[in-house]
Amino acid sequence: MPLDPRRTVSDLEQLRALTANDHGAQRIAWSETWLKARAWFQSKLAQLPVEHHLDAAGNSWTTLRGDSDRALILGSHLDSVPNGGWLDGCLGVLASFEVLRGLAEDGKPPVTIRLVDWADEEGARFGRSLFGSSAFAGTQTIQADRGRTDRDGIRLEDALRQCHVDVERIGDAAMERAHAAAYLELHIEQGPVLEGMKLPLGVVLGTKGVERHAITFHGQEAHSGSTPMAVRRDALAAAAKLALEIRPIARKHPDAVATMGSVKTFPGIVTAVVGRCETTLDMRDLDAGVLASMLAQAQEASRRFAAEEGCTVEWSRIWSIEPIPFDPALIELCDQAVRETAGTSHRLPSGPLHDAAEVARAGIPVVMMFTQSLAGLSHNPAENTKVEHLELAVQAFDRLARKTISTLSPAGTAELSP
């Protein structure tokens, strides 16, 4: 039977019926509902000539053996945030399943095809995103995460043991990297860009680097009635100037974003000039040089505004990650697959991180394909994509997989970058 993208849509509907309630998807990693989703997925594999195992970090691997051990990996994640949508993650797993099914029906493929359902992409329960893929990539150490607990005080270690994962051994998931030659992931965009361009599909250039900082302005608390305007050292005034200045700093670059997401004032009462203002800044871009220059400009501006308001400012980094560009040769193949399927392609960076970024950090050639998200909504039960776009996405992803297999086969001509 040829590829049947409608079957992917009906699989997604089945999974929604099985794992969502009135508030949306509830497939939180390491929960009963997540295990139920995984068991349902397993049952679908039964009629295929594949092997299945869980690795040491709880990633679920389905392998269709080929003539060569060189492996093309397809995948995404079945886990969701609480009250999540019906497509985030599971679209990539179920589209990969449809592609795998078609390849299995064609007979033994020239290279091995592996489908991975990464464990705990979302980090919704323990605050550790990309859990399984980072164990695979070797970028995760359990030392940093051992102390994590969920809202009910249940330890990460104990929740994982319930799912037969021993935290001491998660590093063994790196063994799955053997023979990995390329990784492809289909995902909803989770943003408004493709819809704004009226395009169903896009090619992802990589994931943006992130600079996340706490910025505190120090001024002088003073009585709101007795302190003349001219002598105030108002920490909020300095912070407010910065909140406006980060917008032109980011707008100089087409894909850059900068967000001041939190502002706290102290003493925070109606009758006092703000003596201390704590803010946060999150900046992202795909280009490391652009990101570094945005950060430098924001730091310079904060010092200037602090001086103008008689304040001082201090910065401390909360978290950062470098931009992770995807493989140029796979980006080309993905572009071809999208154009052949939908007529027009568009290349865009991803603001959110994805498991694909961890796979790329492990040195494996990677590309992602996005399909349009209606109103750019995700992590929300309103998350949606037109059915015709979902079907195009499955077709284009199948094309991409087949093109990649040709380049990986001994007869293939193109070379993927290492």
Residues of this chain that interact with Zn ion (CB under 5 A) are 88-89
Residue with smaller CB distance to Zn ion, 122 or 176: 122
In the complex, what is the shortest distance from the CB of residue 202 to Zn ion, in angstroms, rounded to a whole number? Answer: 15
Q: From residue 160, how far is each of 5, 40, 128, 129 by CA, in Å? A: 34, 20, 13, 15
Residue with smaller CB distance to Zn ion, 89 or 219: 89
Q: How far apart are CA 400 and CA 336, in angstroms?
A: 8
In the complex, what is the shortest distance from the CB of residue 89 to Zn ion, in angstroms, rounded to a whole number? Answer: 4
In the complex, what is the shortest distance from the CB of residue 346 to Zn ion, in angstroms, rounded to a whole number? Answer: 20
Could you give the 3-state DSSP secondary structure of residue 159? helix
Q: Are 263 and 278 in contact (CB under 8 A)?
A: yes
In the complex, what is the shortest distance from the CB of residue 169 to Zn ion, in angstroms, rounded to a whole number? Answer: 25
In the complex, what is the shortest distance from the CB of residue 160 to Zn ion, in angstroms, rounded to a whole number? Answer: 20
Tokens of 249: 């700093």
Helices and strands (H, E) in the chain, number of each type = 12, 17
Residue with smaller CB distance to Zn ion, 276 or 389: 389
Could you give the 3-state DSSP secondary structure of residue 88? coil
DSSP state of 55: -
Burial of 248 per CB tally in 10 Å (0-12, 13-18, 19+): exposed
Could you give the 3-state DSSP secondary structure of residue 256? coil
Residue with smaller CB distance to Zn ion, 305 or 326: 326
Q: How far apart are CA 304 and CA 205, in angstroms?
A: 35
DSSP result, 331-357: HHHHHHHHHHHHS---EEEESS--HHH
Q: Are 65 and 24 in contact (CB under 8 A)?
A: no
Residue with smaller CB distance to Zn ion, 187 or 276: 187
DSSP state of 364: -
Q: Are strands 180-188 and 272-273 parallel, antiparallel or unpaired?
A: unpaired
Residue with smaller CB distance to Zn ion, 89 or 349: 89
Residue with smaller CB distance to Zn ion, 88 or 120: 88
The residues pairing with 20 across neighbouring beta strands, listed in sequence order, are: 25
In the complex, what is the shortest distance from the CB of residue 57 to Zn ion, in angstroms, rounded to a whole number? Answer: 17
In the complex, what is the shortest distance from the CB of residue 357 to Zn ion, in angstroms, rounded to a whole number? Answer: 11
∠ CA 372-93-74, rounded to 5°: 100
Burial of 40 per CB tally in 10 Å (0-12, 13-18, 19+): middle
DSSP state of 149: B
Q: How far apart are CA 276 and CA 267, in angstroms?
A: 7
In the complex, what is the shortest distance from the CB of residue 76 to Zn ion, in angstroms, rounded to a whole number? Answer: 7
In the complex, what is the shortest distance from the CB of residue 92 to Zn ion, in angstroms, rounded to a whole number? Answer: 8
Residue with smaller CB distance to Zn ion, 111 or 366: 366
In the complex, what is the shortest distance from the CB of residue 128 to Zn ion, in angstroms, rounded to a whole number? Answer: 15
Residue with smaller CB distance to Zn ion, 130 or 249: 130
Residue with smaller CB distance to Zn ion, 88 or 309: 88
State the residue number with the nearest CB to Zn ion. Answer: 89
Q: Which H/E stretch holds residue 362?
A: none
